[in-house]
Every structure is written in C-alpha cells, then in structure tokens.
Amino acid sequence: MNLMKFSIPLTLYRLEPSTLVNVTGDAIRRFAFRSIDNTPDEKVYGFVPEDDMFADLETSILEKGQYMSFGFRIDTGKIPSAILKKHLAEMTRAPPRGKARRSFPDPERRNSKTFASPGSFQKQNTAPL
C-alpha cells in the first residue's frame, strides 16, 4: 500500500506493558469476527488479524513487539434482487413477466353454454306506431 497516495485510519493507544497482553488480547478475542454464514443477522462485524482477515483470531498472534496489530471487519449479507425475484416467482408459481399466460377453458363449462348459430337470430319487423 502506497501511503503517499492514500489515507488510512490509524489509532495508537498507550498501555502499561503488563496489561497489554492480558487485558487487551482477551477483550479483542472476545469480540472476534464471526462468519455471517452461521447467523441470521444481515450485518456482522468484529476484530480480525491484520495480516490475514480470513484467519482465525484465536490462533493468530496479535502482538508485534510492543504493539498489537489487528483490523476491524464488517460484512453485510444481501440477496441480489434478481435472485430474490426468481425465487419468489418460483414459490408463488407466477409466470415470468413478458410472457402471455394461456388459459384453457374447462370442457364441462364449455358444454354447458348455449352457443347461438347464425340461423337462430330472426329479423324482427319493427313498424313505427
């Protein structure tokens, strides 16, 4: 990363050396990042190792000499709208947009109707009164 072109957030804290490993390491590991796959939440956040954000915080070494090095990761799980619409259409069994829906009449209903033939209409003479 070229620091001359980009700005990065950097925070330094001073702690007594005896409490650095005991208190800070335990607190950071308590709020470690947990995968979004195992939770119903839409947003998951937590601390991760600075070197590899996909590594497990429990097995990583955060102490770098007299400093601790870690990052903060935020994951947001959203379903793309195209996939959501597709699954919703499958669940409701609705036809996709743009295609005309064909409906076939029920044969019993069709037979119960009386259809008029061309000869069934007679001309009525209407004379003015």
State what percent of residues in the chain have pLDDT above 90: 0
Residue 57, number of CB atoms within 10 A of its CB: 19
What is the pLDDT at residue 123? 56
Amino acid at 17: P
More confident residue, 7 or 127: 7
Three-state DSSP at 108 gives: helix
pLDDT tens track for 75-105: 887 778 888 888 888 888 755 565 555 665 6
Residue 46 parent element (H or E): strand 43-49
